Structure 1
Amino acid sequence: MLTVAQLRACLFLSFTVLLGTCFQLIAFVFQYKLDTYSVFAQKSNPLNVFLAKYAWGWTSIPLLAFMLVYVHTCTTTTINSSTYKRYAAVAIRWTSATLYWVIMTQWAFGNPLLDRVYLSTGHCLTMTNTVEVRSIRQCKSLGGSLTGLDISGHCFLLVHAILTTFEELKPYFKLHTLDSSSALMAHFTSLSKMCLSILSLVLITLGLIWWIMLFTTSLYFHSFIEASSGTLLGMLHWLVLYVVTGSLYPNVLPFDVSLVSQPNKSQKHL
């Protein structure tokens, strides 16, 4: 079952993609030409070339650093089984998110899954005939174009990064909303406070950039089917890990702030 915060995040990202594709449809119906001179309408724009295409790389490194610092800060200096379990949970979440990105966009014993869908649902059309190809790159090298379902890799990647970041930052910001937050934060060292503040700011800034790029991608570059399918696939890992698996095995989830405030009880359950 989704929490209220999770449902809002899901609806917010879905609405962002829907809004972009609706504007695209309205422009088509009324024969209004979208601003192709906008920097966001160019695939060569710096945000796309240097950031969006490598969204998981930009996100995963500071995210892993944040996860490790947060767990280290919220656990005692004594090495025990519960401490190991918390670090193991971090490893599981970060590794599974990274592997999901690899399988979908980089490599899955050959072509990544998104490419496999694109190739299996269409053909490579050249100027003269239809050609059988084994990769998107091969089709482009022949001067052809593919006719299959081009699931938006950008929508997938950006949604995946945003939702994973959202889940990992949630307990940290929840800590600041508790009545006992000042007492809890008093146990944090100045260095850990500074690291968590800087890393969370970096991740929020990246999340804002990813959200802007998600809207412009759905507005300029993909149809509703392409953008929505990419968005749904971007939500899949989040649903499986943080919603389904998290409800069955809560210890896999990010360290809950309520356990920080009651360390003795938390160790009994971990």
Structure 2
Amino acid sequence: MSARRRPADIPSDLNGPPLTTTMPASSTPPSPRSPFLPTRLEALLISIYPLTLFLGSVFSTLSATTRSAPYSASSQSHPPEFAPSYFAKKKNIFNVYFVKVGWFWTTLAFVVFVLTNPGLGVPLRPYVTRRRVAASLRYAAVTAWWTVITQWFFGPPLIDRGFRFTGGQCEMLRDAAAREDMSDAREYFTAAACKAVGGQWKGGHDISGHVFLLIMGSGLLWFEILPALTRAEGLRDGRRVLLSDGKVASVAVEKQAEKKEAANQTQEQVTAAGVKIALGVAALMWWMLLMTAAFFHTWFEKFTGLLVAFAGLWVVYFLPRGVPALRAVLGMPGV
């Protein structure tokens, strides 16, 4: 019977180099993720928007019916009599009563969620709490961005200013005599004023206001309700923040350092009504975003609408994570 070999008998080339205290540890934790970047769940959520625009645009290119239908570049849509789908008509009921007043539905869903979520305050009680104030300030900031882009910015909104800056102008189409005198038509600076006198925007880059509105509205609702949904499902909150001492920590660390406002806020449960309404509005916005991608605007107009919407959402929901002073004002959803 052969003797059992001792460890010292094993050739050194199989053992590898001896461990020493000067060798780097193999279990060194990776550097923390930047607080300005989304979590994996947020990244998946955000990726839905460009993917939706891509799929809708691909459909409009590959669909023989849509591709063969006449398209008006001035109105960014198919003429009603040639529309390849009910959703390709600007006067479809969802476009008229939902998208055209999309910020009303966004505001309604947001208010219901704020008043019914126990994580923000006593449900259905108009008490002023720190979290409700912070949520309202975030809503006001997003609304301000929506306003300056599509409604007013010390005069015409930025969409109309961008259109004129890229060479666009108002062309009079209803009156033949007016068409001969284009110098007057150039004075109509906004799209609303142009349409009011029977003209159309032509010649410039028109950022898709529909894409911008639908992404901004649904994005606001998603970022507000996402912490409540993850908490209800027992998922870990992967958001990271920059603390005042310069260290990067998880949201859970910052929450442990806070005092609870009231005993009934210790359990962050989801109130079904507020979350369901917000999810319903966000889902319908996603569907109309898909329809917009399939039947309205050019690829580049939809892409710029996406970029402008993402810029506003990043400033309100991601920038505060790395700027403690801004976070002290706007807060963070669920914190």
State the TM-score bracket (shorter-chain normalisation): 0.7 to 0.9
Q: Structure 1 residues 175 and 143, CA, compared in 2 at 3 Å: closer, same or farther? A: closer
Larger Rg: 2
For structure 1, the 5+ residue unaligned runs are 180-186, 257-270
* Map of 1:123 onto structure 2: 169
Secondary structure, in 3 states, of the residue corresponding to 1:72? coil
* Map of 2:250 onto structure 1: none
Give yes or no for the alignment of 1:204 onto 2:250: no
* Map of 1:261 onto structure 2: none
Give yes or no for the alignment of 1:139 onto 2:175: no
Give yes or no for the alignment of 1:26 onto 2:81: no
Give the superposition deviation at 1:24.
Answer: 2.1
Give the superposition deviation at 1:23.
Answer: 2.0
Give the superposition deviation at 1:73.
Answer: 3.9
Give the superposition deviation at 1:115.
Answer: 1.6
* Map of 2:121 onto structure 1: 72
* Map of 2:142 onto structure 1: 97
Give the superposition deviation at 1:128.
Answer: 3.6
Give the superposition deviation at 1:11.
Answer: 1.1
Q: Structure 1 residues 165 and 85, CA, compared in 2 at 3 Å: closer, same or farther? A: same
Letter in 1 for 2:92: N
* Map of 1:106 onto structure 2: 151
C-alpha distance in 2, partners of 1:8/1:115? 32
* Map of 1:165 onto structure 2: 221
* Map of 1:255 onto structure 2: 334
**Out of 202, 205, 220, which is 1:149 matched to?**
205
Larger RCO (CA under 8 A, 6+ residues apart): 1
* Map of 1:177 onto structure 2: 233
Q: Structure 1 residues 115 and 178, CA, compared in 2 at 3 Å: closer, same or farther? A: same
C-alpha distance in 2, partners of 1:36/1:136? 23
Secondary structure, in 3 states, of the residue corresponding to 2:121? helix
CA contact (8 A) 1:125 1:147 kept: no
Give the superposition deviation at 1:6.
Answer: 1.7
Give the superposition deviation at 1:142.
Answer: 4.8
C-alpha distance in 1, partners of 2:319/2:171? 42
Q: Structure 1 residues 85 and 144, CA, compared in 2 at 3 Å: closer, same or farther? A: closer
Q: Structure 1 residues 12 and 144, CA, compared in 2 at 3 Å: closer, same or farther? A: closer
CA contact (8 A) 2:69 2:84 kept: no
**Out of 318, 323, 327, which is 1:243 matched to?**
318
Letter in 2 for 1:91: S
Q: Bigger CA drift: 206-215 or 92-101?
A: 92-101
**Structure (1/2) with the larger helix percentage:** 1
CA contact (8 A) 2:214 2:285 kept: yes
* Map of 2:41 onto structure 1: 5
CA contact (8 A) 1:119 1:146 kept: no
**Out of 48, 62, 66, which is 2:95 matched to?**
48
For structure 2, the 5+ residue unaligned runs are 1-36, 71-81, 173-178, 236-263
Give the TM-score normalised by the residue count of structure 1.
Answer: 0.78
CA contact (8 A) 1:119 1:136 kept: no
Give the superposition deviation at 1:56.
Answer: 1.4
Q: Percentage identity across aligned positions?
A: 26
Q: Structure 1 residues 114 and 193, CA, compared in 2 at 3 Å: closer, same or farther? A: same
**Out of 296, 300, 314, which is 1:225 matched to?**
300
Q: Structure 1 residues 237 and 31, CA, compared in 2 at 3 Å: closer, same or farther? A: closer
CA contact (8 A) 2:218 2:285 kept: yes
Q: Structure 1 residues 31 and 115, CA, compared in 2 at 3 Å: closer, same or farther? A: closer
C-alpha distance in 1, partners of 2:304/2:269? 39
Q: Deviations over 1:96-140 (max 9, x none)?
A: 111111111111111111121122222233444644132223333
Aligned residues: 241
Q: Deviations over 1:195-214 (max 9, x none)?
A: x3112111111111100100
Q: Structure 1 residues 193 and 10, CA, compared in 2 at 3 Å: closer, same or farther? A: closer
C-alpha distance in 2, partners of 1:25/1:37? 13
C-alpha distance in 1, partners of 2:47/2:323? 24
